[in-house]
C-alpha cells in the first residue's frame, strides 16, 4: 500500500527540498517577519493611547499577509507545472509511476503547506492583539481561516493556469486577470447595479441572478471578509464560518479538479515533444512582416520582437480604444441624474484607463527587457557585439520605451480634456489656482515623484530579472513597498512633514535608480559570462 505512494512522497519531498534550498523563500519569510515586527514598532506609541489598539494591529497584519501571499503566491503557485514544462522534465515525470493526480498533488502541496505553515506560525504572535484589546481570539482565528482558504484558492487557481499554459509568465498573467475578475470587477459592476435598483431599474429574473452573483462575489472578497470580521465582529462568533470560506474552498477544489481533468490534454508528452511550427514567412511577435533593422539594431530587435513593433502597437492601441470606448458607453448608460457623460468625464476615463494600461505594459516590459534574453541565453551574443554593455542596455531601453509612447499620448489627451473641461466649468477660482505658484510647485513635485517611482520600479525589475529567473516583479514590489514603509516610519506619514517626506522619498528613489542603472551593464557582463 505504502509502495503506491512512494513516487508521490518522492515528488513531494523533492518539492520541499527545492523550497528549502531556494534563496527566495527564506528572504521572503524574513522580510515578512521584519515587516510584522516593524508594524508593532511603528504602532507602539499609538498602543498607549488607543482603546482598541489590537484591532488596528490585527488589520495591518492581515493586510500584510494578504498582499504578501498574493504577490508570492502568484510567482510560486503559477510555476508548479510550467517550471517542469520549461525545463522539459514533465515528460520524464510522466514516464515514472506518477499519475496526473500524484504530479498535481506532489507539485502543489509543498508550496501550499509552506504558505499554510507561514500563516500558522504567526497565530501565537498575533494573539498579542487580544492583550492589546479590541480583538477577540475567535476573530483572529477567523482572519487566519479566511487567509488560509484564500491561499487554497490561489494555489489551485495558479495550478490550473500552470497546467493550461506553457510559460510561467502567461500563467501568472491569467491568474492575476482571474483575481481582478473575482475581486475587483464586482465592485465596479455593483455600484451601477445597486443604483439601478434604487432608481427602479429592470428587475427581470436574469438580471436578478446577475445581481446575486455580483453580490456573492463581493461578500466572498477576502479583504471585505477580513474587515468585516475585525471591525463588525461578523460571522456569529464561530471562528471557522465565514462568507468567503465556502467560495474559496469550493472554488479551490473546482480548480484542482479542472487541473486534474485537463492535465492529459495540456500536459501530454507528445505536446511537449512536438516542435512548435509557425508559418514560413517573416514576422514579429504579432506575426506580421517587420522592416529591415535600424542603425540601432538592438533597439529595432526589442521594439519588434519584445513589444510587437509598430503593427503590434497599432493593434494594442485599437484594442485599448475599444476597451476605453466600452467603459465610456457603459458609464454613460449607468450615469444617473446628470444625463450623458460630459467632455471632462470622457477625458477622466481616458486618462485613468491609459494610466492603468500604461502601468501594466510598463511592468510587463520591465520584466521582459532582460528576462527574455536571460531565459533564452542570448545575452552572450549581444554582449559580444563591438559595443559597450551600457549602450546595449540603452538601446534595449529605447526599443521598449517606444512601444509605450501611444499610451502616454492617450494619457496626455485624457488629462488635457479633463483639465480643459474643469478650466471652463469650475469658475475663475480654479483658473487662478492653476496659475498659482503653489499649484505649479505641487504639480511639479507630484510629477517628479511619480516619474521617479516608475523609473525605479522599472530599473529595479530589469536589474532583478538579470539576477533571478523567477518573480523579479514580485520582489520589486516587496522591496519598494518595504522601503516606502520604512520611509513612512522615519517621517511619520500623515504628519505635517508630508511634503518633506515626498521630497526625501523622491531623492532616495532617484539615487537608487541611478545606482541600479549604473550596475546594469556590469550585470549584463556577468550574465553573458555565465551562459
Residue 454 vs residues 45, 65, 117, 141, 523: alpha-carbon distances, Å? 33, 25, 34, 38, 21
| End-to-end CA gap in the chain | 45
- Sorted by sequence, the CB contacts under 8 Å of residue 3 that are 6+ apart come out as none
Does 376 participate in binding other proteins (rule CB under 8 A)? yes
Gap between the Cα atoms of 218 and 183, Å rounded: 7
CB of 275 to other proteins, least distance (A): 6
Does 315 participate in binding other proteins (rule CB under 8 A)? no
Does 293 participate in binding other proteins (rule CB under 8 A)? yes
Does 150 participate in binding other proteins (rule CB under 8 A)? no
Instruction: Closer to other proteins by CB, 408 or 525: give it.
Output: 525
Does 286 participate in binding other proteins (rule CB under 8 A)? no
Contact indicator for 476, 460 with CB cutoff of 8 Å = yes
Instruction: Closer to other proteins by CB, 72 or 369: give it.
Output: 369
Secondary structure of 90-155 in HEC code, one letter for each residue: HHHHHHCCCCHHHHHHHHHHHHHHHHHHHHHCCHHHHCHHHHHCCCCHHHHHHHHHHHHHHHHHHH
DSSP result, 303-321? HHHTS-HHHHHHHHHHHHH
Does 290 participate in binding other proteins (rule CB under 8 A)? yes
CB atoms within 10 A of CB 252: 22
Does 377 participate in binding other proteins (rule CB under 8 A)? yes
Instruction: Closer to other proteins by CB, 201 or 271: give it.
Output: 271
- In the block, which residue shows the cell 518573480? 471
CB of 384 to other proteins, least distance (A): 6
**How many residues are listed for the chain in this entry?**
531
Among 184, 319, 385, 489, binds other proteins (CB under 8 A): 385
CB of 165 to other proteins, least distance (A): 17
Gap between the Cα atoms of 368 and 292, Å rounded: 23
Does 23 participate in binding other proteins (rule CB under 8 A)? no
Does 400 participate in binding other proteins (rule CB under 8 A)? no
Binding segment toward other proteins, per CB under 8 A, in 27-35, 346-354, 384-392, 494-502? 384-392
Contact indicator for 263, 100 with CB cutoff of 8 Å = yes
Gap between the Cα atoms of 171 and 163, Å rounded: 9
Contact indicator for 229, 242 with CB cutoff of 8 Å = yes
Instruction: Closer to other proteins by CB, 318 or 529: give it.
Output: 529
What is residue 292's DSSP assignment? P
Q: Using CA of residue 128, residue 130, residue 132, residue 134, what is the dihedral sign?
A: positive
CB of 350 to other proteins, least distance (A): 33
Does 521 participate in binding other proteins (rule CB under 8 A)? no
CB of 522 to other proteins, least distance (A): 12
Among 199, 204, 281, 495, binds other proteins (CB under 8 A): 281
CB of 379 to other proteins, least distance (A): 8
Among 77, 150, 256, 300, binds other proteins (CB under 8 A): 300
Among 275, 429, 435, 494, binds other proteins (CB under 8 A): 275
Instruction: Closer to other proteins by CB, 14 or 376: give it.
Output: 376
Does 294 participate in binding other proteins (rule CB under 8 A)? yes
CB atoms within 10 A of CB 327: 16
Does 88 participate in binding other proteins (rule CB under 8 A)? no
Say what angle helices 205-219 and 185-198 make with each other, to 10 degrees.
130
Does 85 participate in binding other proteins (rule CB under 8 A)? no
- Residue 81's φ and ψ, nearest 5 degrees, are -100, -35
Does 101 participate in binding other proteins (rule CB under 8 A)? no
What is residue 296's DSSP assignment? S
Does 301 participate in binding other proteins (rule CB under 8 A)? yes
CB of 295 to other proteins, least distance (A): 7
Does 420 participate in binding other proteins (rule CB under 8 A)? no
Among 280, 429, 435, 438, binds other proteins (CB under 8 A): 280
CB of 159 to other proteins, least distance (A): 27
Does 295 participate in binding other proteins (rule CB under 8 A)? yes
Binding segment toward other proteins, per CB under 8 A, in 323-331, 359-367, 374-382, 471-479? 374-382
CB atoms within 10 A of CB 136: 17
What is residue 430's DSSP assignment? H
CB of 403 to other proteins, least distance (A): 16
Gap between the Cα atoms of 155 and 72, Å rounded: 11
Among 25, 364, 387, 422, binds other proteins (CB under 8 A): 387
Does 523 participate in binding other proteins (rule CB under 8 A)? no
88: three-class secondary structure by DSSP:
coil
Among 381, 412, 426, 450, binds other proteins (CB under 8 A): 381
Binding segment toward other proteins, per CB under 8 A, in 45-53, 258-266, 271-279, 398-406? 271-279
CB of 445 to other proteins, least distance (A): 41
Q: Give me the half-sphere count of Cα atoms (radius 13 Å) on the Cβ side of residue 386.
A: 0
Interface residues toward other proteins, by CB under 8 A: 275-285, 290, 292-295, 297-298, 300-301, 305, 376-378, 380-387, 528-529, 531
Amino acid at each position: 500500500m505504502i509502495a503506491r505512494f512512494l513516487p508521490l512522497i518522492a515528488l513531494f519531498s523533492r518539492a520541499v527540498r527545492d523550497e528549502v534550498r531556494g534563496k527566495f523563500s527564506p528572504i521572503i519569510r524574513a522580510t515578512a517577519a521584519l515587516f510584522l515586527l516593524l508594524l508593532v514598532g511603528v504602532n507602539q506609541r499609538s498602543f498607549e493611547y488607543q482603546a482598541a489598539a489590537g484591532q488596528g494591529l490585527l488589520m495591518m497584519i492581515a493586510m500584510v499577509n494578504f498582499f504578501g501571499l498574493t504577490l508570492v503566491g502568484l510567482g510560486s503557485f503559477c510555476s508548479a507545472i510550467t517550471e517542469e514544462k520549461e525545463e522539459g522534465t514533465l515528460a520524464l515525470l510522466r514516464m515514472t509511476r506518477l499519475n496526473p493526480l500524484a504530479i498535481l498533488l506532489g507539485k502543489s502541496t509543498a508550496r501550499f503547506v509552506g504558505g499554510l505553515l507561514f500563516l500558522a506560525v504567526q497565530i501565537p504572535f498575533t494573539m498579542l492583539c487580544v492583550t492589546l484589546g479590541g480583538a477577540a481570539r475567535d476573530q483572529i482565528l477567523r482572519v487566519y481561516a479566511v487567509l488560509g482558504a484564500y491561499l487554497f484558492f490561489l494555489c489551485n487557481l495558479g495550478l490550473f493556469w500552470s497546467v493550461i499554459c506553457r510559460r510561467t509568465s502567461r500563467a501568472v498573467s491569467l491568474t492575476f486577470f482571474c483575481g481582478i475578475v473575482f475581486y475587483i470587477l464586482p465592485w465596479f459592476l455593483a455600484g451601477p447595479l445597486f443604483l439601478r435598483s434604487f432608481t427602479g431599474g429592470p428587475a427581470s429574473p436574469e438580471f436578478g441572478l446577475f445581481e446575486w452573483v455580483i453580490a456573492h462575489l463581493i461578500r466572498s472578497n477576502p479583504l471585505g471578509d477580513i474587515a468585516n470580521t475585525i471591525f463588525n465582529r461578523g460571522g456569529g462568533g464561530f471562528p471557522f464560518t465565514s462568507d468567503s470560506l465556502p467560495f474559496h474552498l469550493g472554488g479551490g477544489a473546482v480548480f484542482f479538479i479542472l487541473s486534474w481533468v485537463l492535465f492529459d490534454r495540456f500536459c501530454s508528452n507528445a505536446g511537449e515533444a512536438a516542435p512548435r511550427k509557425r508559418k514560413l514567412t517573416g514576422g514579429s511577435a504579432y506575426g506580421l512582416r517587420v522592416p529591415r533593422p535600424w542603425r540601432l539594431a538592438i533597439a529595432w530587435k526589442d521594439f519588434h520582437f519584445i513589444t510587437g513593433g509598430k503593427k503590434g502597437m497599432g493593434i494594442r492601441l485599437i484594442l485599448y480604444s475599444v476597451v476605453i470606448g466600452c467603459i465610456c458607453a457603459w458609464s454613460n448608460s449607468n450615469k444617473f441624474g446628470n444625463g450623458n457623460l460630459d467632455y471632462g468625464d470622457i477625458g477622466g476615463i481616458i486618462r485613468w484607463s491609459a494610466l492603468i494600461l500604461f502601468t501594466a505594459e510598463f511592468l510587463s516590459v520591465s520584466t521582459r527587457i532582460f528576462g527574455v534574453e536571460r531565459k533564452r541565453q542570448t545575452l552572450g551574443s549581444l554582449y559580444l557585439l563591438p559595443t559597450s554593455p551600457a549602450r546595449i542596455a540603452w538601446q534595449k531601453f529605447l526599443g521598449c520605451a517606444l512601444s509605450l509612447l501611444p499610451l502616454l499620448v492617450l494619457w496626455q489627451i485624457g488629462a488635457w480634456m479633463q483639465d480643459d473641461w474643469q478650466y471652463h466649468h469650475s469658475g475663475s477660482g480654479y483658473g487662478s489656482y492653476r496659475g498659482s505658484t503653489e499649484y505649479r510647485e505641487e504639480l511639479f513635485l507630484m510629477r517628479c515623484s511619480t516619474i521617479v517611482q516608475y523609473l525605479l520600479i522599472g530599473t529595479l525589475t530589469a536589474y532583478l530579472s538579470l539576477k533571478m529567473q523567477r518573480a523579479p516583479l514580485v520582489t520589486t514590489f516587496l522591496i519598494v513597498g518595504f522601503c516606502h514603509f520604512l520611509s513612512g516610519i522615519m517621517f511619520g506619514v500623515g504628519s505635517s512633514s508630508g511634503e518633506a517626506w515626498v521630497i526625501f522619498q523622491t531623492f532616495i528613489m532617484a539615487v537608487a535608480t541611478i545606482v541600479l542603472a549604473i550596475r546594469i551593464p556590469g550585470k549584463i557582463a556577468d550574465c553573458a559570462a555565465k551562459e
